[in-house]
Amino acid sequence: MRIVVAIKQILDPEGITVNRRRERIFINREERIINPADKCALEAALRLKDAHGAEVIALSLGKPAADDALREALAMGADSAVLISDKALAGMDAPTAAMVLARAIERLAPFDLVLAGQTAADTGGDQTAGRLAELLGLPQVLQALELSLDGGRLQVVRLWDGKPVRAAVSLPALVAVSPLAPPARYPHGARIMNAYRQMQVSVWTAQDLGLTPEELTPNIESRGQVFPPERELGTVVEGPPAQMAGEILSLLRMRRLI
């Protein structure tokens, strides 16, 4: 079994604060981590490896600094790692990034399973997994919590309306792992040292993937950021239902909302 896990390196959200009044984002501690949902996806792949002897390939798209995220994946137990990094890839939007990842995954074929995190903690985006499944022509399962193999089918425990349910999908397939899935293991100290001393991270460029400048043209033009206003304290309404309804109507009329 061959598993490709897409991971993303992000700034640790705990080191970032947003000042709505000044309309600025402050980076108080510039520490980069693996996106939590992607790390859960990597853990799910490693559990399948432990149970069935799968080969796990970690794949990331980003700046050269993302090498650290991939070496962490190697230290955790991934068998190999690939970084897609090129100045030509700067300023990509979500559709373009998914296209580049899909091209890299196709180059890694044959594969049986593609795993990705459900949500990006830095942007709140929830697009990569679905776009990858569409581009690769794979069936997909979202919000996965647990994975197991039963013959030639993948059994998935996933969230549905906030509750865990069971689903099954034939391979090859793509599964988006929820950040609520079992947390990632801690790598052994010796593997951490080996990840930097002995293990290699392959680096692919846009040219390696046969990408043209036209294909890398963003579909979305960024024109800046708009910050929502600061939150205002609301009005607490108490009492019997009829009385509360009357007070709410009065407040809405005072504010000329009705």
CATH code assigned at 26: 3.40.50.620
Length of the chain: 258
Q: What is the pLDDT of residue 16?
A: 79
Q: What is the pLDDT of residue 162?
A: 86
Dist. CA 236–CA 225, nearest whole Å: 33
The answer to the question of residue 32 being in a domain is: yes
Residue of 130, 142, 193 lying closest to 169 (CA atoms): 142
The answer to the question of residue 258 being in a domain is: no
Q: Where are the beta strands (DSSP E) in 12-121?
A: 16-19, 24-27, 32-34, 55-61, 80-84, 113-117
For residue 165, the enclosing domain spans 2-204
Structure tokens at 12: 């640790």
Contact yes or no for 189/202 (Cβ under 8 A): no
The number of folded domains in the chain is: 1
Dist. CA 223–CA 117, nearest whole Å: 28
Task: Compute mean pLDDT per 10 residues along the chain, 258 residues long, and list them.
Answer: 95 80 79 94 97 95 94 96 93 90 96 95 85 96 94 92 93 96 91 92 95 88 77 84 92 88
The answer to the question of residue 210 being in a domain is: no
Q: Mutual orientation of helices 67-76 and 189-197 as an angle, nearest 10°?
A: 130
The tally of CA atoms less than 13 A away on the side-chain side of residue 184 is: 27
Residue of 76, 65, 70, 71 lying closest to 30 (CA atoms): 65
The answer to the question of residue 117 being in a domain is: yes
Q: What is the pLDDT of residue 240?
A: 93
Structure tokens at 83: 């970084």
Q: Residue 147 corresponds to which amino acid?
A: L
Please give the model's pTM, rounded to 2 decimal places: 0.83
The answer to the question of residue 135 being in a domain is: yes
Q: What is the pLDDT of residue 207?
A: 94
The answer to the question of residue 179 being in a domain is: yes
The answer to the question of residue 39 being in a domain is: yes
The answer to the question of residue 97 being in a domain is: yes
21 φ/ψ angles, rounded to the nearest 5 degrees: -65, -40
Q: What is the pLDDT of residue 122?
A: 81
Q: What is the pLDDT of residue 257?
A: 85
Dist. CA 65–CA 205, nearest whole Å: 15
